[in-house]
Amino acid sequence: MTVQVVHAEAEKKLIEAFKTEPKPTNGNTTKITRILQGSHKTYKYVLITGLLGKACNKDVDPLALQAGAPLSGAYDARSLCHKVFVPFERNFLSNALGGSNEPFLNKPARFTHLSVGNAVRAGKDRETLSTLIDVLSSIKTSEDASRYLSFALRIVTEIARKQIALNKTSISINPTLLEIYDFIVHFLEKSFEGETCTIVVGALESVYHNGLKGGFIVGCHKVNQSGSSSKEVGDIDIFSSDGKYRYSIEVKDKTFSDSDVGHAFKKIIANGGMKGAFIYGPRSSFNESALIKHLKSYEQNKFLAVFMDIYNYAKLMLFKSNMEERREFMDRIMNTAIEINARDETKLWIHETTKRLGWT
């Protein structure tokens, strides 16, 4: 039987739990802390949503993920999370769980309900699933769910405080353009699955376009997820101030083929772009002869295709940019990291790199 959770009441319950001093009394607190401080983002959202659903309606089975689950307390957990908790996380918790707009669209949340039989990677992810099931299946009353919800929100608040500190940059010098290039070289020593390259390109594009007349909008997207939204074309999309799409830049820091480059440029063309760039990082490898032939075919079709390694690209952008206050560059670096929802390890690497260079 499907049960209902009224979203207006859920919003009130969230605020109430947020303001309430938590008083859980058993071992679930350790398990909740482990899940929320762990690396599996989707299960964090599932945990909070399950607690919220049960706190609002005693008949809810917090193991349910969909209204069609074969459980007597099935409910629409996806809607509750996306329409109630996601805005709450953005407004009150500084996107501490990751700032996902639709976390229940991720594979771990696409099942009808939580079960040890759900497909999940072995190791820590499977352990987290088991812990999540243990916690939610042990909560039998709305009162218990409310207490654990208060505790969970307290943990997320602590994570948010640390996140705010992590997202701040402060350097003691106003670096020269050569010193900024030195930062880029050191920063690119690590990849973090392509995040460092994307951050560098996004930051340089933001600095450059900020100095142009007429106004431009630079949109940077999460690594390996470009095109996941109808508004996204490449890793970095450039728009004029009126919102008209201009062009995109694809960034890769791994082995790729000429078809990968072609796929990126085809998306740009399909969205009305007359030019595009493909920037590759230090860990990239490709078939140069095949790629040169591929690029020429685009130029013959009146599409301006730029293909460049990130070091030469960075030098060129620094040469063209007009930064009156060069500390601005570090702000752009961190803002881009936040915009692409970079992992905490990447942000820590930003801080560590500035320390290595003696900037702090």
Is residue 206 over pLDDT 80?
yes
Q: Tally the C-alpha atoms within 13 A of residue 285's C-alpha that lie toward its C-beta.
A: 1
Higher-pLDDT residue of 22, 177 = 177
Read off the pLDDT of each residue in 66-70 and give the average, rounded to a whole number. Answer: 95
Nearest-angstrom CA–CA distance, 114 and 108: 9
Question: How far are the Cα atoms of 64, 115, 309, 332 from residue 70, in angstroms, in the given order?
Answer: 8, 12, 53, 48
Q: Which amino acid belongs to residue 13?
A: K
**Percent of residues, the chain, with pLDDT higher than 90:** 77
Read off the pLDDT of each residue in 8-35 and give the average, rounded to a whole number. Answer: 90
Of the listed ranges 5-14, 69-78, 181-190, 290-299, the least confidently predicted one is 290-299
- DSSP string for residues in 79-104: HHIIIIIHHHHHHHSTTTT---S-GG
Is residue 285 over pLDDT 90?
yes
Read off the pLDDT of each residue in 8-12 and give the average, rounded to a whole number. Answer: 97
Higher-pLDDT residue of 341, 89 = 89
What is Dmax (Cα atoms) for the chain? 71
Could you read off the pLDDT of 219-228 as tens digits, one per residue?
999 887 644 4
Tokens coding 277: 């760039």
pTM, full prediction: 0.77
Quick one: which of 58, 32, 28 has its CA closest to 47? 32
Tokens coding 93: 């918790």
Tokens coding 303: 């599409």
- DSSP string for residues in 251-292: EE-S---HHHHHHHHHHHHHTT-SEEEEEE-TT----HHHHH
Quick one: which of 117, 113, 109 has its CA closest to 41? 109
Using pLDDT thresholds of 50, 70 and 90, give the confidence band for residue 24.
low
Q: Tally the C-alpha atoms within 13 A of residue 125's C-alpha that lie toward its C-beta.
A: 12
Read off the pLDDT of each residue in 162-175 and give the average, rounded to a whole number. Answer: 89
Which pLDDT score is estimated for 27? 81
Nearest-angstrom CA–CA distance, 123 and 119: 12
Read off the pLDDT of each residue in 33-41 and give the average, rounded to a whole number. Answer: 93
Helix (H, G, I), strand (E, B) or coil at 350: helix
Tokens coding 146: 């409310």
